[in-house]
Amino acid sequence: MSTRRYAVFGHPVAQSLSPRIHAAFARQTGIDLEYTAIDAEPADFVAALERFAADGGGGANVTLPLKEAAFALCQHSSERARRAGAVNTLTRNDGHWHGDNTDGVGLVRDLTDRQGLDLRARRTLLLGAGGAARGVAPALLDAGVEELIIVNRTPERADALADALGEPERAHSRYWESLRDEGDFELIINATSAGRSGGHLPLPSTLTNSRTLAVDLSYGEGAIAFLAWARSVGCRSVVDGLGMLVEQAAESFRIWHGVRPDTDAVYAALREQNAILVTAD
C-alpha cells in the first residue's frame, strides 16, 4: 500500500506543529502517511494545492490566511464549513476538494473536556472576523454561550460574520472603538493575528470580571501579549490555542482515516515543549 500524502498550507507555515501532531497520530494508529508543511501565499494557493493534488495529495489542513479562500474553491463542503464560510480541512474525492471546518469542535473540546470549563450562559467577546474567528463562532453558539459580540478592525467583516451566523438575537457586531461601553464578558477569545505579527491589542480592563475566561487561538509566542494582558487584568482562567490545535487535528485525522486518535499524550508532549502557561480554575 502506498504512503498517503497530506499537508498543511499557510503563509507563513514553517513553524506549524501540525506535521508533528499528525506524525504522532499516525504512529499511534499504525497508519502510514506523509504530512508536510507547504508555504503558499494567497495568490499562489490554488496553484500550489493543485500541484499537491497532482502529486498524490489526499487531504490538507489550511491555516491563516487561506481558510476563506479554501472554502471558495471547494465543490462540496460540510454544514459546519458552510456556516463558518471558512475551511481548515480539505479532502480529495473524485478529483474534487471537499471542505470541512474542525476549528470550532477543536476549541470546544479543549475548553470543555480538557480544561473542564462550562461555556454555557457566558457573555462572549470574539476579537477578529477572519478565517479563525469564522471557524469557531458557530461552535460557540452551539455550545450555549449567552451572547456573542464580534469586533474587528474592519467593521464590515464583523457585520458580515454576525449576519452569516443567522442568530440575530445572540450574535452581534460592534465597533472596536466602542468596547469601553460594552460592559464585561465571561469569555473573551482573541482570533486576531496581532500577536503573531508583533502587534498590540488596545483592550480596556472593563471587559473582564471575576469569572472571565480569556482564550487566544494562537500558541507559543503569538499568544504571549494577549494572555499577558488577560493576567494583568485578573482573568480567572487563561488558555492558549495549543489544545485547540491538537483537537482540531484529531478531528481532521478522523475525517481522513476513519479513526479518532487519543489526544492527551500528544497534547502533554507539546505542552511540555511550549512554555505558555495555561491556568484554568
Provide the whole-model pTM.
0.93
Q: Average of pLDDT values for 248-276?
A: 92
Burial of 264 (0-12, 13-18, 19+ CB in 10 A): exposed
CATH class of domain segment(s) 104-242: alpha beta
Q: Taking 70 as the threshold, does the pLDDT of residue 156 lie above it?
A: yes
Asked whether residue 194 carries a pLDDT value surpassing 90, the answer given is no
pLDDT for residue 278? 58
Q: Annotated catalytic residue: which of 11, 67, 98, 122?
A: 67
Query: Residue 128, annotated ligand binder?
Result: yes
On the question of pLDDT at 277 being above 60, the answer is: no
More confident site: 59 or 278: 59
Lookup result for grid cell 470550532:
104
The answer to whether 17 is a known ligand-binding residue is: yes
| CA atoms of 120 and 24, how far apart (whole Å) | 33
Residue 156 marked ligand-binding: yes
pLDDT in tens, 233-250: 999 999 999 999 999 999
The pLDDT of residue 249? 98
**Domain 4-101+249-273 and domain 104-242 have a common topology:** yes
pLDDT of residue 197: 61
Phi first, then psi: give them for residue 12, nearest 5 degrees. -80, 165
Catalytic (active site) residue 67:
yes
Interval 182-192 mean pLDDT: 97
Give the residue extent of every domain in the chain. 4-101+249-273, 104-242
Q: Is 93 annotated as a binding residue?
A: no
pLDDT confidence tier of residue 193, bands split at 50, 70 and 90: confident
Q: Is 131 annotated as a binding residue?
A: yes
Q: Candidates 3.40.50.10860, 3.30.2290.10, 3.40.50.1820, 2.160.20.60; correct CATH number of 4-101+249-273?
A: 3.40.50.10860
pLDDT band at 95 (very low <50, low <70, confident <90, very high): very high
For the chain, what percent of residues have pLDDT higher than 90?
89
Rounded to an integer, the average pLDDT of 207-216 is 95
Is 159 annotated for ligand binding? no
